[in-house]
Amino acid sequence: MEEKSDCENCKTWEEEMYWKHFNSMHFYQILPKNFNDHLVLPEKFAAHMTTHVPDIVSLIGPSGTMWEVETQKTDNLLLVGDGWKNFVKTYELEENCLLMFKYKRNSRFEVLIFDQESFCEKESCYFVKKCRHTKSEHENHKKRSVREVQALR
């Protein structure tokens, strides 16, 4: 058996150090067609991290809002479920948007979002918040707002 050259040994060592010991790693995704229900993570990331990524991860968008998202491990590693669908809907993601992921070993993905035309960050993503009001609170607020406008007339 032929022994690896020093450079090949260094490369193997570097890759092992990165995937096994670094606390975070980055990758990006350009959103394909049919991304609304699930997102297939990069093959190289999945090959190294499938056993390390839990069944539920957190996605943290540019606004700091956190979404709990299911992962599914098949031949690939997928982000799936209502958490992913809500993330897509809230951030108004579209085909060909670019998402930059920073995976932290504490089961978190920090996500930056870039639009599909300019590949500049989507400014509006920094102002997204999860609404925690109930439907009845919204109705009360709407009624109060109408009364306040009528009182100003």
User: What is the spatial distance between Cα 4 and Cα 10, in angstroms, rounded to a whole number?
Assistant: 10
Work out the percent of the chain whose per-residue pLDDT is above 90: 48
Domains observed in the chain: 22-152 (2.40.330.10)
Q: What is the pLDDT of residue 92?
A: 93
Each residue's pLDDT tens digit, 100-150: 999 988 789 999 999 988 989 999 999 987 665 555 555 655 556 556 656
Q: How confident is the model at residue 70 (pLDDT cuts 50, 70, 90)?
A: very high
Q: What is the pLDDT of residue 135?
A: 57
Give the SS3 label for residue 76.
Answer: coil
